[in-house]
Homo-oligomer: A and B are copies of this chain.
Amino acid sequence: MYKSADLTTIKPFMTGADMDRADQIRVDPDKLAEVMNWRARLLKLDALVPGITPEGGLLWNSLGELGENCEPLFLGMQEGKAHFVELPPRDGTARPVQYDPRVWQAIAHMPRADLALYGAARSLVDWHNRHGFCAVCGSETHVAKGGWARHCSNCGAEHFPRVDPVSIMLAEHDDGSQKRVLLGRQPRFPAKRLSALAGFIEPGESIEEGVARELWEEAGIVVRDVRYVTSQPWPFPSSLMIACIAQTDDPALTLDTTEIEEAHWFTVDEVQAAMANDPEAPFIAPPPFAVAHDLLRYWLDQQEKN
């Protein structure tokens, strides 16, 4: 199988699971039954919080640990073993999902392959949790294709897990003497934290049009020459972050303050200081597990090359 590390030079967190998702097994009940043997491993999430080993990795159980009325969702094959994640029953007994600081602690210390697997598993379980009914007819749906679909036995509709593409971007302005990038803060950010602007891509627009619209709506700037940089799955709950850099000729800002509290332009030196966690830096950089961090690192690297 391919190795994620060979695919890109930038390697955002949440990528690199390197598990064969084995779609030929998903769609074949006989093959699926065959891999549900004593070697099979099971990840259990408690309201989406993973079990963690003393070393900080994902805690895998044997498939025999599957809880009563739970369903196993097939994640894929690794080292000859089938890997599943447990879907809790829809009977009201599961603990409700809420913001949990243990998730962020676990993420900060988890090996990267485990983190990527957790992200996939979390997105999948969360999608099932929130999609028990058919959007077409309102009837109950049930798990299909090893966990990668839900089927409505009333109207026959098949529903697939959502992946919501999000554009996340640096606007860059070159005034002839120096280049600067635009960073902003959402009201929910911790103090002094700034990051790249972002927004969901909508029906009828390309990635690049999504980038231009967000910068127009949120910061009031007109951009040109949008360049793709990297991408990252973000399982809160099901985003695909698509990171880009766009150019602007006019840095004057008109902020949509319902979306962003403040936004400013920063020089290479200022971004460098923030990325080095310099206490004198004008802002706190996005954390390493956010793709905005990779985007700023890439931008700094490009400046050094020029």
Which residues of A line the B interface, CB within 8 A?
Answer: 1-4, 6-8, 12, 14-15, 17, 20-21, 23-24, 116-117, 119-121, 123-124, 127, 130-140, 148, 157, 159-165, 200-209, 211-213, 215-217, 222-226, 228, 230-233, 235, 238, 240, 242, 246, 256
Contacts and interface: CB of A to CB of B under 8 A. Distances in A.
Contacts of A208: 4, 7-8, 15, 231
Contacts of A23: 217
A223 to B, nearest CB: 6
Contacts of A132: 135-136, 138
B137 A133 contact: yes
B160 A200 contact: yes
A6 B148 contact: no
A14 B206 CA distance: 8
30 contacts: A2-B222, A2-B223, A3-B224, A4-B209, A4-B212, A6-B224, A7-B206, A7-B212, A8-B208, A15-B208, A15-B209, A119-B203, A120-B202, A123-B203, A124-B204, A131-B136, A133-B138, A138-B139, A148-B202, A160-B164, A162-B164, A162-B203, A163-B164, A163-B200, A163-B201, A165-B165, A204-B233, A204-B235, A205-B233, A206-B231
A120 B200 CA distance: 15
- In the complex, the count of this chain's copies comes to 2
Given A2-B216, A24-B256, A131-B136, A120 B209 contact: no
A132 B15 CA distance: 35
Contacts of A17: 204-205, 209
Contacts of A138: 132-134, 138-140
A216 B8 CA distance: 17
A235 to B, nearest CB: 7
A88 to B, nearest CB: 15
Nearest to A229: B228
Nearest to A16: B209
Nearest to A124: B203
Contact of A7 (B24, B139, B225): B225
Contact of A135 (B7, B131, B233): B131
Contacts of A139: 138
A21 B213 contact: yes
A136 B141 CA distance: 11
Given A131-B135, A162-B162, A163-B200, 7 more contacts: A7-B208, A21-B213, A120-B205, A123-B203, A130-B136, A163-B201, A203-B238
